[in-house]
Amino acid sequence: MNGYHQRTPLEGEVRIPSGCAISGIISRSGKRFSGREAISSIAVMHDRSNGLGGGFAGYGIYPEYADFYALHVFYYSSEAKRSCEDFLEEHFDLINLSKIPTTKHHAITDEPLIWRYFVTPLPTKLASSQLDENEYTARCVIKINREIDGAYVFSSGKNMGVFKAVGYPEDVGEFYRLDDYEGYSWTVHGRYPTNTPGWWGGAHPFSLLDYSVVHNGEISSYDANRRFIEMFGYSCTLMTDTEVITYMIDYLHRKQGLSFEEVANVIAAPFWSTIERKSQEEKEVCTYLRNTFASMLITGPFSIILGFSGGLMALNDRLKLRSLVAAEKDDRVYLASEEAAIRVICPEPDRLWYPSGGKPVIVTLEGQQGGQDGHQLPVSGL
């Protein structure tokens, strides 16, 4: 955070009691819609945030550049920008670059320089690295975040983008003009930072390649998780516990090839006493995953929404210490910390349920619906 100073007091200097808020919306048919619904949904949960962070991830927003990695970067100095651009030019073909369009907003201040690059790995560099293009790009992103002072790549997927800032999420959405983008899925986060500073890089979503995570909660296993994941080349540079969840999911899903259900069984592994009561086959799977990836169990309260290309996954800790509600209507699925945040954009869902602790709700564009183990509620109301 060199060269970065906020006028508003940092967490620790003030105490504003609240909690985080998350929301996610996906159209299973792939129909694109603007970021406005995510803004309307999160605004209902205003009191869960304290203005020290808000952010969005939109998927399907860059169809004209769908084959290129979209890098969103914060710069805290022009030197950082020069160093980062030198690095990018050395490793990638830069197809397009520009400032990310923003609107002056009275509640969003002290913004860094915010740039966007559509890039593809230089073929010669990629070939000599003997890596696939995802791994090549991920390593470059980690290197920039670790080594270039004052430069933070906060979004690096294809046909998706993260937009985040210090502020209330509804203001952040206005600041980034999210009415102008259309995606098939959106996630959004209102932040109440615990233990760590409220700063632009520390706002959610956290993202690597096309994985993005918004999180309500506090990971008590953070350092155990961090030490483990840093053995595999990741670097936790953003000073917030949620960052490590993103890297663990990238490692388990992209590198180890686990399904999202299996990922859920690793990071929110059932208690041994619960595993005991499962069928022999399930018992073997759960025992294998829990033993093999013991250091990747996340403890402490969390509800997360993971965005990935083609879908969303919502997951609670196994004790369900944070709230999570899911609903569906026609081709849409809604996920949020509070039911009111769903009903404000979808007053009469066809189905509404509370997912159980440790049981993922996985929604993909093909129409495959997870969450059958959730606890289904009859839809009521006037």
Partner 1 sequence: MKHIDVGMMQYRQLNEQIRESKAKQFILSSVTGQRYIGCAQKDKTITINGTPGNGLGSYLDGATLIVNGNAQDATGDTMNEGAIIVHGSCGDGTGYAMRGGKLYIRDSAGYRCGIHMKAFEERQPLLIIGDRAGSFLGEYQAGGTIIVLGMNQEGKAPVGYFCGTGMHGGTIYLRCDTLPQGLPPQVAVHDADEDDKALLFELLDEYCALFKLDKAQLLASHFYVLSANSTTPYRMMYTHV
Q: Which residues bind partner 1 (CB under 8 A)?
A: 43-45, 47, 271-274, 277, 319-320, 323, 325, 338-341, 343-344, 352, 354, 356-357, 375, 377-378, 380-382
Q: What tokens were used for 348?
A: 């009469």
- The least distance separating partner 1 from the CB of residue 17, rounded to whole angstroms, comes to 12
Q: In the complex, what is the shortest distance from the CB of residue 325 to partner 1, in angstroms, rounded to a whole number?
A: 7
Nearer Cβ to partner 1 (81/320): 320
Which residue out of 20, 84, 236, 346 is catalytically annotated?
Answer: 20
Q: How far is CA 279 from CA 160, 284, 359, 366, 369, in A?
A: 40, 9, 17, 29, 23
HEC states along 7-44?
A: CCCCECCECCCCCCEEEEEEECCCCCEECHHHHHHHHH
Q: Which is nearer to partner 1, 35 or 357 (CB)?
A: 357
User: 271 or 288, CB closer to partner 1?
Assistant: 271
Minimum CB separation from partner 1 for residue 375, in Å? 6
Give me Rg for the CA atoms of the chain.
Answer: 20
Strands (DSSP E) found in 145-299: 151-155, 160-165, 182-183, 185-190, 206-208, 211-217
Is 20 one of the annotated active-site residues of the chain? yes
Nearer Cβ to partner 1 (4/354):
354
Under 8 Å CB-to-CB from 43, ≥6 apart: which residues?
169, 170
Please report how close the Cβ of residue 177 comes to partner 1 at its closest, in angstroms. Answer: 22
Two tokens, residue 75: 């710069």
Cα-to-chain-centroid distance, residue 291: 27
Return the closest-CA partner of residue 245 out of 285, 284, 301, 164: 301
Q: Annotated active-site positions, please? A: 20
